[in-house]
Amino acid sequence: MLNKLKIGIRTKITLGYIVIILCLLVSGIILNNQITFLQKERNYIITNDTKTLELTNRIERNILDMESSQRGFIITGESSYLKPYNKASENWEYAYDELYRVLENKPTQQQKLVEIKTAMEHWITTSGEPSIKLKKENNTEALKEIYKVDVGRKDMDAVRDQFESLRSVIYANMQAQVNDLDKRNSIVTLTLLGILVFISVIAIFIANGISRSIVNMLTKVTQTIQEIAASKSRKKGRIHVKTNDEINALVAATNELLDVLERREWLQVNIAEIVTKHQGISAVTKLAETFLSELAQKTQSSLGAFYVRETTDNNVLFVKKAAFAEAGDDVGIESFKFGEGLIGQCALEKKVLMYNDIPEDFRLIGTGLGVVSPKSIFIVPIIFENDVIAVVELATMTSFSELQQELVKQVIETFGLTVNSVLGRMEIVRLLNESRAMTEELQMQSEELQAQSEELQMQTEELTMINEQLEERTKEAELKSRELEQAKKELEESAEQLLLNSKYKSEFLANMSHELRTPLNSILILSEMLAENSQHKLLEEEAEFAKVIHSSGEDLLVLINDILDLSKVEAGKLDISFDEMNMSEVPVQIEQIFAPVAAKKNLQFHISKDKNVADVFYTDENRFQQILKNLLSNAFKFTEHGAVNLKIKQLGQEHLTSNMQNVSADWLEIKVSDTGIGIPKDKHQLIFESFQQADGATVRKYGGTGLGLSICKELSRLLGGWISLQSEEGQGSTFTLTIPSLPNGIEEQKYFELAVHEVVATNEVRELEELTEEQPSEIQEFSQHEVEIFQGKNILIVDDDYRNIYALKNALEKRGMNILVAKDGIECLDILQTNDEIDLILMDIMMPNLDGYETMSIIRKQMKITDLPIIALTAKAMKTDRDKSIEAGASDYISKPLNLEQLVSVLRVWLVSKGS
Amino acid sequence: MERFPLQQKMYTDLEIDLLLEAIYRLSGFDFRQYNRSSISRRINNRMRMNNIPTISRVIENVIHEDGFLEQLLNDFSINVTEMFRNPSFFKAFRQEVVPYLRDYPEIRIWHAGCATGEEVYSMAILLQEEGLMDKAVIYATDMNEQVLEKAKRGMFPINKMQAYTKNYMLAGGIQAFSEYYKTDYQYAYFHPSLLKNIIFAQHNLVTDQSFNEFHVIMCRNVLIYFLPELQNKVHYLFAESLSKNGFLCLGDKETIGFEDIISKYKEIVGNEKIFQKVE
């Protein structure tokens, strides 16, 4: 195209004009020639013909002058007349020559002229010259002669005629020439017209051609533009022309304009798209994510990060809010400060940074197939009110086009506002949430306070109650303590008595047992001997009898021994000797004794001893074994199925009370447990009493004296320990013997302390029992509160109906209330003014003089009595009555006819003090 | 022990975390998402009352001391309520919600966190007065069984009745309030007929799911004790449990703070926090 010659519209038009002007010039020259030629012709005609005529005339005059001069001379003879003749004869030949030359081209006229010359010469020769000569010679005769003939005259006439003829010829010639000129003139005019027509035609053609070429192009361009304008696709077409003129330039410019427009449209559309995506986003992270992903998409970036400025404790930090990576992994540092790195620099300088030379070790962009490093990075600060509030960084594997950069820059321009408004909105939401949380917190605290105050109130109430009870109890206790003191004295006395008695009894029993044993011994020995029947003298039956006697005797002996032991213990006659005991032997010994029993009753028997039980234990071995045996035989006795276990274990220091530690640091715990019939809880205490078993049925089934446990209890006490029992009916029982190791025996004092130990435990139980027993009586006490609510309360009844008043008065006075009566509102107000001890008003509504509403209004508004409860008595099912009552200041209302129970309930509600 | 306040706070937080974890593991009651400020105040209160020096000791007591856990659980449940609490709410309910309910063949109302039941009885009285009680069932739930037992008895301290009477009247009651109760020297006993269509049940908003579809859910001043996440969770539970066009009634200081939930409701009585489900 560059080679193509540029023919612009201007050239075209100029060329056209040049053609026309050339045509005009040519035609002008032609015309000018013609006209000049005509002019020359005319001038020629004018000068030539005038000369011809003048010369002709001059010749004629010369001849005439000669004639007249000749005649004057002839007549006068004066030679002065001859002068014109001479002059003319001299001149005419010159004129003739000249005329002859002039008429060169006109032979006919030349002919005529020659003839004129001839005639003139003839005259001169024949008449002129001879006459003059003759005159001079004074030859008058000859002269006369000549004149007689007068040849001269004849010549003269001929000359004149010839001249006339010549002149007419000249004139005719002139006329012919003029006619010729006229003819030529009209030809020239015609030619001129022709040329004009021709040029016009050419001009029209050229004009038409040029204009058509221009208009065609323009139409085409216009059409294309219209098509483009009408086309809806984003990518517009372009105009194409083949010419190389201004239109082409116009088209090029238009195409450029389209390009620019398209780019601008792309920008606007994308900006609009990005901006639309932001709408309604209320969280900056979401905003950042959306924005970044949009931006990255539009700019074909592979990596991107979005940082938002956060100010904490005067520290300004840009924190990452969103990251974009095509590979999907996390990119970008978490935060940076002003001036930290390129991005920090960008934030500091508020300038867009664009880098195309990325160092090799820059973060690589991961793809499915590998990693590539980005080619350019683009860091843009987001500015709001001249402050950088966020920074976006993008990286791509290709490079950012101008358009993409422009897009980013333009989007960023307004984005500052968006970020700021979102941040603002977040701040507002945060504050809103905060204030909401605070409101809730307040509500919560107020509820808690209410709850606490309620709790406190309840506690106070409880405390008051407890206090009251305590006071009462103290009184009772004082009373009781006095009684107790009294009783104690009595008891002490009787105890002494009892002790004495018991001692006597025990001593007696001890003596008795001893006395009993002596005869029993002989019975036993003899019956045994009989039963052995060594000499076979007895019948088998008799031997059997003897066996029965022996075994009964043995039972009796056991019983007597038991009684003896018990009485010895109770009488303080039992000797306890503390000594070394080898604990390791105990299980073996016990095993030997009870294994056969267990085998006989088909029971399992386990003995276990903890390893930390010391081998040496200081106690009374006999008594210890007695206790064990007793407990075990009991266990075997009351167990039909299952097992009996014996466990010996050392009590750890942590289980010892200070009392126990005072006694010894070394305590054993021996547990005998069985799976037998067990003992009901209420019998636990009983079975340790002498001669007691759980119940009569037990005695019948199992036999026994019931002394065993009493003895064990006493023995264990003597050994410095005690026995306790855990058992439930049917669940088996466990007896636990707890005894100390006492190398130096035991002091009296310690017995006492240990006894206290036991007593404390039982007392607690009793106290609890007392408490539960007392509960019903409390309720009875409270019923007095009921009376307290109504007792002595002053109730003012305002009613005009005597029957109502009577009924109410009656019912309320029964409950201890004082009743005042007012028959109408006025009376009611009077009473209120004089009596300020009214507790409650029952107010009828329908009354003469001053009705209930007005009365209440006056009480509340004029008398300013606001706390006094007023119960309005309204007609049933009349809501307006109730509403009016409330408006007038009633505290509550009841519908008539009155229900007594309801009335009492309401009175309770309004008479009860709020605090209670 | 001398510590910096921040460190102290960290220790306290840890202790509370452990305590709440212990309570959850031992009792199934989950207070881990309750508002910390309230919980810590309740714990401090108990510590003051029992003279316990540290929260760690509280944990020990919770684990080893019989009855302590129950006591603490009782402390945690705040049972502040009253009859016709915020009377204007009940008035608005009567005016704006009841007309909708009239058209329903049956009305299921869930009163979540009913405490000692004052508001349940209030609602029952309101429904009775509007003639809706026969077709209504009120499911009154609380996580605390002790207070439910109280609620079932329908007896309230007589000294509160004056205030309740005022509330009743302000709430637009159309009878004499005394028609609904009898009294003795200590309590006002509400008429058993009110109990006819009330079902009391133990339900824990934190751990339990919805159990029916309801036309009205009342949950007033309960969610304030929860952290926002838990509030959100419970709100989802409510939204799920509400029937089409059902009503959600919150306490006067409460709001639905979450946009995705709030869009499910329109506020029909703004100041009274009565919302109607729109979808």
Query: pLDDT tens-digit profile of A695-730?
Result: 555 554 555 556 777 778 888 888 888 888 888 777
Out of 3.40.50.150, 1.10.10.10, 3.40.50.720, 3.40.640.10, the CATH code matching B87-277 is: 3.40.50.150
Asked if residue A799 has pLDDT above 60, the reply is yes
Q: Is the pLDDT of residue A771 over 50?
A: no
Sign of the torsion formed by the C-alpha atoms of A790, A791, A795 and A800: positive
Q: Please, are residues B138 and B212 in contact by the beta-carbon 8 Å criterion? A: no
| Closest CA relative to residue B100, chosen from B237, B236, B244 | B244
| Helix residue ranges per DSSP H, A302-388 | 341-349
Q: What is the mean pLDDT of residues B161-183?
A: 90
- Which chain B residues are within 8 Å of A883, Cβ to Cβ? none
At A786, list the tokens.
């009921």
CA distance A41 to A34: 10
Long-range contacts of A453-457, Cβ-Cβ distance < 8 Å, separation of 24 or more: A454/B80, A457/A915
Which of A870, A912, A914, A916 has the most B C-beta neighbours within 10 Å, making it the best mutation to test the interface with B?
Answer: A912
Does residue B116 sit at the A interface (CB-CB below 8 Å)?
A: no
With CB atoms and an 8 Å threshold, state whether A905 touches B183. Answer: yes
Task: Report d(CA A10, CA A245) in Å as an integer.
Answer: 9
Q: For A364-373, A604-613, B86-95, which range has the lowest pLDDT when averaged over its residues?
A: A364-373
Gap between the Cα atoms of A330 and A193, Å rounded: 94
Using the CB atoms, write b or e for A370-389: b if 16+ within 10 Å.
eeeebbbbbbbbbbbeeebb
Any bridge partners for residue A844, and if so which? A873
C-alpha to C-alpha distance for A97 and A99, rounded to whole angstroms: 5
Largest distance between two CA atoms of chain A? 281
AA letter at A850: L
**C-alpha distance across the termini of chain B, in Å:** 57
A471, two tokens? 């006071």
CB pairs under 8 A between A and B: 106
φ/ψ of residue B237, rounded to 5 = -60, -45
Other Cβ atoms less than 10 A from the Cβ of A47: the count is: 11
Task: Report CA A83 to chain centroid distance, whole Å.
Answer: 147
- Burial (0-12, 13-18, 19+ Cβ within 10 Å), A244: middle
Q: What is the mean pLDDT of chain B?
A: 89
CA distance B128 to A522: 97
- Does B79 sit within 8 Å of A786, measured CB to CB? no
Is pLDDT at A183 greater than 70 in this prediction? yes
Q: How far apart are CA A33 and CA B180, in angstroms?
A: 141
Specify burial of residue A90 (Cβ count, 10 A radius: 0-12, 13-18, 19+).
exposed
| Pairing mode, strands B274-277 and B265-269 | antiparallel
Q: Is the pLDDT of residue A759 over 60?
A: no
Contacts of A512 (CB under 8 A, 6+ apart): none
Strand partners, A841: A796, A870
Whether the predicted pLDDT of B221 surpasses 60: yes
Which chain A residues contact residue B84 at CB under 8 A? Answer: none
* Chain B residues whose beta carbon lies within 8 Å of the beta carbon of residue A791: none
Least trusted range by pLDDT, from A14-18, A149-153, A731-735, A753-757: A753-757
Predicted pLDDT of residue A702: 56
User: What is the predicted pLDDT for the residue at A369?
Assistant: 58
Each domain of chain B, given as residue ranges in start order, spans 5-76, 87-277
The alpha-carbon gap from A785 to the nearest alpha carbon of chain B, in Å, equals 6
User: What does the pLDDT read at residue A689?
Assistant: 67
Q: Report d(CA A577, CA A587) in Å as an integer.
A: 22
| Rounded-to-integer distance, Cα B211 and Cα B108, Å | 12
Task: Check if B162 contacts A (Cβ < 8 Å).
Answer: yes
Specify whether the CB–CB gap between A187 and A80 falls below 8 A: no
- Residues of A in Cβ contact (< 8 Å) with B191: none
ipTM summary value = 0.82
| Least confident interval from A162-166, A498-502, B268-272 | A498-502
pLDDT at position A540 is: 80
In sequence order, what are the residues at sequence separation of 6 or more whose Cβ sits closer than 8 angstroms to the Cβ of residue A307?
A: A318, A319, A320, A321, A332, A335, A336, A343, A390, A391, A392, A393
Lowest-confidence pick of A304-318, A652-666, A884-898: A652-666
What is the structure's pLDDT at A1? 39
Answer positive or negative: Cα dihedral of A830, A833, A838, A843: positive
Q: Nearest 5 degrees, angle CA A102-CA A103-CA A106?
A: 150
Is the minimum CB–CB distance between B42 and chain A shorter than 8 Å? yes
pLDDT of residue A764: 34
User: Would you tell me how many other CB atoms lie within 10 Å of the CB of residue A436?
Assistant: 16
- pTM more than 0.80: no
Cβ-defined contact of B254 to A440 (cutoff 8 Å): yes
Over residues A60-81, mean pLDDT: 80
**CB distance A873 to A854 below 8 Å:** no
CA angle A845, A846, A852 (to 5 degrees): 35
Provide the pLDDT confidence category of residue A516 given band limits of 50, 70 and 90: confident
Q: What is the pLDDT of residue B106?
A: 92
pLDDT > 70 in chain A, percent: 88
A704 Cβ contact list (under 8 Å, min separation 6): A637, A693
Question: Given a cut of 80, is residue B233 above it in pLDDT?
Answer: yes
**A650 bridge partner residues:** A668
Write out pLDDT tens, residues A133-171: 877 877 777 777 777 777 677 777 877 888 888 888 888
pLDDT in tens, A245-283: 777 787 888 888 888 888 888 888 888 888 787 777 777
Displacement of CA A596 from its chain's centroid (Å) = 86
Is residue A199 within 8 Å of residue A25, measured between CB atoms? no
The H or E element spanning position A909 is: helix A900-911
Mean pLDDT across chain A: 78
A179-188, A477-486, A682-691, A773-782: least confidently modelled range: A773-782
- pLDDT (tens digit, 9 = 90+) per residue, A844-862? 888 888 888 899 999 999 8
